[in-house]
Amino acid sequence: MTGRSIRLTATPPVPEPGPEAPSGPALVLPVRGMTCAACVGAVERALRGVPGVAYAHVSLATEEATVVADPLAPPQVDALRQAVSDAGYEALAPVDDSLPDAQAAVAEARAREDRVLSRTLLYSAISSGIVMALGLPAMLRGGHGGATSNWLQLAFALPVQAIAGARFYRGAWAALKHGRADMNTLIALGTTAAFLVSAFVTVAPGAARALGIPPHTYFDTSTAILTLVLLGKWLEARAKRRTGSALAALLSFRPERARVERAGAVLEVAASEVREGDVFVLRPGDRVPVDGVVIDGQSSVDESWLTGESLPLEKSTGAGLLAGSLNVEGALRARALRIGGQTALGRVVRFVREAQGSRAPIQALADRVAGVFVPVVLIIAAVTCVTWLVFDPPVALAHTVAVLVIACPCALGLATPTALAVGMGRAAEAGILIRNGAALERAGKIETVVFDKTGTLTRGRPDVIRFEAFGIDERSALALAAGAEAASEHPYARAIVRHARALGVEPAAATAFRAVPGRGARADVQGDVVRVGSRAFLETEGVDLARMADGRAVLGVARGRTLIALVTLEDQVKEQAAPEVARLIRAGATPVLMTGDAEATARAVGQAVGIDRVLAGILPEDKARAISAMRAEGRRVAMVGDGVNDAPALAVADLGIALGTGADVALDAADVTLLRGDLAGVHRTLALARRTVGTIRQNLFWAFVYNAVGIPLAAGAFAPWFGWTLDPMYAAAAMALSSVSVLANSLRLGRARLD
């Protein structure tokens, strides 16, 4: 990885629920005030109604809206923010991870919201405790409280209803103005009904008796519900912050300050002020502010945030630098090449942010349910109220409030996005970038994994595996061969020079170098003409080839007209290839090797790594057809590659996996990018995808079960037969715990072992 950066698509993939979502420049807006799945739908509809918006998606887990603009007529940011405001929510300035001020604004808004919520929760909890204590004697007697107790409860409950309930009233009013209902509507209706009936009984007991209203008060119910719901929101907010821990960790690698040479002096400026072409200076302990190239100095640089390499890499003139890397020792001067969001770090952050906010197809059912959920609950609550007023009026209000409170669709709205956010973040920590939720869901179903050979299962470069000398010392022959090839850029020449230096043999000085493309090279070395090349080349040069056998990767070395050495080269199999293939097989996947190489070479590599099915001699244009044929057989196929000729196959596979060390076009066509170029990432991707999809299914199952059981229980449907009922306070606690449990289940993915 020395001297190069991971290359990602210039316009990062856009979160999408399915293939119908368009791609294009994406804008991310933090949105405040959303509480449930119904809120998400309202914000999405508002944004999609803005002229110039091609597509909009909102994530409740990350509290962000991703907007894809029409490139010919993009909308104004102010218009987007106004649309969100008109829908009853607050949109902050667009996310720009290259600008610390923009991040600070988002962080401050969240911190301010957290402080308000914490203070409100504390006040509500204290007041609610007092109200419950005042009502406890009457509860123990099985009767109702006296006038004094009721008035005291009213005095403490009124501020709670006004202060703690304000956020729900505001949300309910905003929803009502747009002809919809959401979680705020349910909480506002339930607690207000309990409070107003209690206040009426307290202020006008005679009128209440005349109307047949039982003399019970529900101040403890209204205050406890508000407190428990706020507690759930507080726990939910803390858990949501943890879903973004991977993104926060990535952002922490970017320094806030940089040292730049300007007007002959070294100035310290904000990292966001570094421009392309600027010369920046790194001292020991500094983090690299932007991607660049070293122009002076020598040092060791830790790039582990991206490469996973635990040891620092040596950097000198001409070496590349990645933003976020740590200069361990030595001083460097470097020229800025890529800044802001175009750096390797900026692209990875943007990729992860958008992937975390994406939508998986499995979420479609939850979305359809959420769209009609609240209106249906309101109908159920109305039916519950009327039914119990007919059969048992004293309990009608309690059952109605319980239905309204327990039926909040928070868990349903959080089930998928929280698992996706945590799963995508965990993948990023492991050096795996997954394009979106749809790709992750497909990855969880892969049955067949097709590997390209060169650069994927093999190192992608020839190495000398045998050097045999005749009539001359082997080291002397190697020095002559390396000297003749030192000026060549051919992969075989570089392999010979690399092999010599690895053995401590310096190439002999050479002059008059001349290459014969595709055949060999000659040079004057130590007074002799030394030739290195194929059999055909040496034959035309008049060299005696009695000792040289035919072979694609066997070169001869001749001094004058005498053959003095044979060099055998081979693109060697990566050490990790065989263990990783075995891992995939144990996990139930079928590996396939597909290559354009000859049958014998392909079979040898397949045997070395443990792949039985080998497709050899496949031309680049036929790779995609071969993948399509496998899919036509009913298989779910992943393609793993890194070259330009792999791009069509990566695009047509159910899941395209590109090694991060590969060609740009391969990375652009892939659904998954393995930043570290590590084959272990293939197994980790599939394993994490299966765990994430499994977690989503668990979340959705329990969210549906919770409502399927909780609503009838709250409505009193089981009371006539089993005597089962649900106190409104317990309903509020159950509602809060349902959301927190979904979040807690999703957060387990952050600790998932991928090995």
Catalytic residues: 452
CA 668 distance to own-chain centroid: 17
Give the residue ranges of DSSP H helices in 541-586: 577-586
CA–CA dist 469, 472 (Å, integer): 6
Q: Name the DSSP class of 287.
A: B
Cα separations (Å) of 80 from 17, 24, 46, 284, 357?
Answer: 21, 17, 8, 44, 18
CA–CA dist 670, 672 (Å, integer): 5
CA–CA dist 713, 707 (Å, integer): 10
- Tokens 């720009």, residue? 96
H-helix or E-strand spanning residue 336: strand 332-338
**Angle of CA points 720, 724, 728, to nearest 5°:** 115
Between helices 410-429 and 37-48, what is the axis angle to 10°? 80
CA–CA dist 743, 144 (Å, integer): 39
**Angle of CA points 20, 627, 663, to nearest 5°:** 80
Phi and psi dihedrals of 695, rounded to 5? -65, -40
DSSP secondary structure, 62-84, as one string: TTEEEEEEPTTSPPPHHHHHHHH
CA–CA dist 588, 423 (Å, integer): 22
- Give the strand pairing for 590-594 and 613-615: parallel
SS3 (DSSP) at 95: coil
CA–CA dist 400, 663 (Å, integer): 62
Query: How crowded is the C-beta side of 157, counted as CA atoms within 13 Å?
Result: 29
CA–CA dist 55, 25 (Å, integer): 11
**Do residues 197 and 190 make contact, with C-beta atoms less than 8 angstroms apart?**
no
Phi and psi dihedrals of 501, rounded to 5? -65, -30
Tokens at residue 57, please?
């998606």
Q: Which residues, including other chains, have CB under 8 Å from residue 613's CB and lie 6 or more apart?
A: 590, 591, 592, 593, 606
Q: Which residues, including other chains, have CB under 8 Å from residue 534's CB and lie 6 or more apart?
A: 519, 520, 555, 556
Going by C-alpha positions, the residue among 512, 518, 525, 464 that lies closest to residue 490 is: 518
SS3 (DSSP) at 469: strand
**Angle of CA points 195, 196, 197, to nearest 5°:** 95
Between helices 410-429 and 680-715, what is the axis angle to 10°? 170
**Do residues 341 and 313 make contact, with C-beta atoms less than 8 angstroms apart?**
no
Tokens at residue 375, please?
């209106």
Q: Name the DSSP class of 550.
A: P
CA–CA dist 370, 39 (Å, integer): 10
Q: What is the 3-state secondary structure (H, E, C) of 652-686?
A: HCCEEEEECCCCHHHHHHCCEEECCCCCHHHHHHH
